[in-house]
Structure 1
Amino acid sequence: MAPSLDTRTQHLLRDLAPQVLGAVIRRFRDFAASEDAVQEALIAAATQWPRDGLPESPRAWLIQIASRRIADHVRAEAARRHREAIVVSLVPPEEQLALAADEEAATGRDDTLDLLFMCCHPVLSSPSAIALTLRAVGGLTTFEIAKAFLVPEATMAQRISRAKQSIKASGVPFQMPTAEERAARLDAVMHVLYLIFSEGYTATSGPELHRSDLSGEALRLTRMLHRLVPDDCEVAGLLALMLLTDARRAARTGPAGELIPLDEQDRTLWDQGAIAEGVTLLTATLPRGSVGPYQLQAAIAAVHDEAASAEDTDWAQILGLYGLLQRMSDNPMVTLNHAIATAMVHGPAAGLERLDALAEDPRIEGHHRLDAVRAHLLERAGDREGAIAHYRRAAERTTSMSERNYLLTHAARLSDTPK
């Protein structure tokens, strides 16, 4: 029986996977073959590293193994079909692989951001490109991506499969985009980074509320993107949003990992350095031009972060910002948050009325957050039985153990309260 991977090596492989995939794609220009080869290299690492120890350069090791897998595949195809190999070079294959590994080890080049731009391929629709990138770069499961897009898992699996087939059939090279192409793909890249961060900040499933590896990687890549396009206001807004949101991470869970809602958090645990950086970015960005959705979301996060207590939160300002955001985005989650802000300003009945309009939206019908918010507003309105029913329904529908425990705890607390 092979030795199991320790947590540190698991995280290392996860961090390296998109970097290695980017390097292999950059060299071989074939997405499907590169993805398969990198998966084989990761499996080889998971088998050999616990037994033999970490190589001197894990990244170069993975690139070399993946490159060999592609070379083996090309030789097999050439023998069967008598066609040209994928890689044409005057350097013998063995020397090429050695040089490639040496180059990667020496330069330490991080291709992850490049891979993000490459995955947003011109033959793909924006949703398909984003889904493919979340799978290849973010390492998200098809289920997690489907939840982010509010579609069934089977639908998302087909979308990702078709995206790969479309790239292959198009004949358009899978290669580094030009500056003009990067500009055209920037919105899709930002959306990918936003979704990776969101999954890391509140995991779709599993026992932990956070996946700090994902949120941390999204932050790192967004910093890289901001350095690449420092004058883009929405990129700055996205970075500010991540900083202002992630600043609360330490206060979101208790000693046993239980979820602590925003209004109950110990604000002394919030990262004031991240808040200051986010506010500075936002302050420098807002006066410079048209305001986009990431800047508006960052502004909402800043209002929360700058309030000394939950009671001091300027909900009227948040309601106004959500109203602007709603005009820009046909997103049911924005409407859901607008309903919460409405309830905080005008009372729970007004918020519940907003929720009723969402009940017919197929994109969010059956989503646990709709029931959770309704339960919260019913509790504030004094409808204890209705609140208990919706807390329980929300708990049945979520796949996050932290959220389920939080919702069931609220239902139990209300059940035990004397009438």
Structure 2
Amino acid sequence: MTNHPRGLIVAAPSTNSGKTTVTLAMIAALRRRGRVVQPYKCGPDYIDPAFHAAAAGRPCYNLDSWAFNRGRVAALLEAAVGADLSIAEGVMGLFDGGSHAGAWGHGATADIAAATGWPVVLVIDVAGQSQSAAAVALGFARYRADVTVAGVILNNVASARHEALVRAGFAAHPIPVLGTLVRHASQSIKNRHLGLVQAREHAQLTERLDALATLAEQGIDLAALKQLAQPSRFDTPATPAFAPPGQRIALASDDAFSFIYPHLLAGWRAAGAEIVPFSPLADETPDDSCDAAWLPGGYPELHAGRLAASSRFISGLRAFAETRPVHGECGGYMTLGAGLIDADGARHAMTGLLGLETDFAQRKLHLGYRVATLHAPAAGHPAGTVLRGHEYHYARVLSVSDEPLADIHDASGVATAETGSRRGHVTGTFFHMIDSSQEPAA
């Protein structure tokens, strides 16, 4: 087994507790001190990892017990070799996951903590409570024997008196308080309907991370964190890299198309593929030397007018699709469709490569893990391949007029109405691919 650096997990009792802010503050502060931190993000998230990567100066990879096979997790943990410390941010609450098991777990942060042996630092938002915070921490520490809660960080502390009251609750218990972050509304990061506003959209992200590093240095015992961290005990052999969809892949990349998992790009490169970015918003076309095009998710609904007016992009993508595969995920899939109705009710013509019509004026949430068995080749995989992914969008589907791409089920095994689409060389799905089986299904 490769000698992994020490690691720990930043988790919380629930979402919106401040674990992303605390994680970024810790990573930025350690980097300021010359430490090399390998960031990870538990669960199916493609927004937080971009912030982690900016703070650490190196890519952040997802870890997911529902969607990844164990060998894929082992391969991603190898990215930490050479780092001083690994820090993984959790998803939702520490023990929250699906009710149905996936590849080898339920998708909970606790699954990753148990499998790696990394201790958990619990971030507790203490707004509106004092001594009760200790009771919360004790309950979490005792809930699962194979997960170690090594300490807590108190977030949203209102005053010195408030901090003293909260600490009083921990005085008679063995869970150490590793630090505090005071209420700093100016340091919060704005949200959008799919999570945080993208890292690439923050003009002053460097300054924001610098301010968070200062908060961490003032309020968190960084030396104690390093002492608590433990080497990973994950010893499964690594799975080979992903099969790329082509040797040279034209990748749509701008503010409308940026939701793609970092491990996917790293896997393509490890398999020898070259990635050639282009910007639909800048009316750019896929490079003609490429042999596949990929439109990831993002926010096409916020830029639908510009996309509809990008005639060079549309005609270039249509010409490309006549002879080579084009695949779209979620926002990319909608852009491959015939039309998109924005939040104000205006319809915008999209590329027309597929017959999908979507509507954001009357939104409908689609959220959850997906298992898809391909009817035809797509995304670099042959027909029959079983893909695991995650769907998260608010688009209402008005119509689909193409052949279904796959049989798709949710985590409980119930078939979904969305089947993806295929027409000629063009394919699309609402879910983002996370991992695949190694062989096509029988």
Q: Same fold (TM over 0.5)?
A: no
Relative to its length, the structure with more strand (as a share) is 2
Q: Which has the higher contact order (CA 8 A, sep 6+)?
A: 2
The alignment's TM-score, normalised by the length of structure 1, stands at 0.29
Structure (1 or 2) with the larger CA radius of gyration: 1
The alignment's TM-score, normalised by the length of structure 2, stands at 0.28
Relative to its length, the structure with more helix (as a share) is 1
